[in-house]
Chain A
Amino acid sequence: MVKKVIVEATINGDPVELLCEPRQSLLEVLRDELELTGSKEGCLTGDCGACTVIVDSRPVCSCLMLGVEAAGKNITTVEGLATGATLHVLQQKFLEHASLQCGICTPGFLMSAKSLLDHNPTPTEADIRYALAGNLCRCTGYDKIVKAVIDAAKHVADGVGTTHHGKVPRKSASEATRDMLGKGEEVK
């Protein structure tokens, strides 16, 4: 009999108590339990990067991490990028440079790019291409994405933009958790 586990983590700045099955990936927990559906499921093997989130300041594939491993971690998802109605500078630049077509890969690219700028606010183009090498896009040919990140970095360097992340706009993670906990502790 597999026990569900209570996990306490911080998601997009909110303290969250999660109830997970150990077999659930962090991606499943984010999407299915917390209704944070910005992180996308692509390959489920760590090749495409569509599920990238930031865990304790490192970019990780949330499909290759168990939800239970999130205990005590500080997690940022794409929902945590914008501050209220104000887009993060990376989101704004992706729009301006038309860095997306179908959009499935975009949340992952945004999170990898954010992680890069958090660690290195003045990246070279090579740094950017290296940092985004774990994210696949079949629409854009990458160039517009790279240009958006170069532009965003310039704005951050000029003090125009910010890489600070705000709260989850739509429904906070803790609200979503309370809803989920309300579902009861039945094991599937």
Chain B
Amino acid sequence: MLLDYERLGWLRVALVGFTAAVAAFLLLPVVFIVLLSFGSSRWLAFPPPGWTLRWYQQLLGDPTWIDAALTSARIAAMAAMLAVIIGLFAAFSLVRGEFRGRQVLRGLLLTPMVLPVVVFAIAIYAFFLRIGLAGTTVGFVIAHTILALPFAIIPITAALEGFDKSIEDAAIVCGASPFQARLRITLPSIRIGIFSAAIFSFLASWDEVVVAIFMASPTLQTLPVKIWGSLRADLSPVVAAASSLLVGLTFCLMIVTALLRRKLSR
């Protein structure tokens, strides 16, 4: 009876209680950081002695934070775009190609997700130091595109595997060129996969810390690098304000994703 929810008896009470506790544990830091960002205590005392918007004023009044956020957004947008386009082409080959070593190729393209980031970080940093791309936007975008690529390939291949190719073939029989058929029939059909790929690869770059720590220069900092620097210096409440805005962004992204998925899958 262990897999019948209705007939678990006393075990159900215990398990539901435990699940609720774990859910609370997962929610605790997120809620806590948002509350603290409005607290007036410089030392992050909890419960806060009073409420204030001071940390948000400091954050938004500091051009280095704004700069870092804009840099992150710019790099993440470019990396996501490249990863989705390159990943889309790769997905066609991985799903429809008829050649030996297809699985090997797939494994190879997904390796950047498995290899510890720190190994890739020092490798690409050493390489970019030599060819003069360290500390440049181009260098950042290339490195982040590599890390984002698996996050683009996985949802797109999954979507493409679920798409019935005979519909595309039918379009060609009716006179469309193979390119037209793919553009007007296949792409719209796998749009949920492409959309997920865009979100995941954007987040992969936007949240990336390790490569960014090595690659950053005094004039080019992403948001995670800026937060990292502040964390190492002190636990300033300004970081709590920045973090809360990031939590808000995540929340919006989740809602938009859920709504769009519902709309697209109709």
Chains A and B belong together in one complex = no
Interface residues of A (CB under 8 A from B): none
Interface residues of B (CB under 8 A from A): none
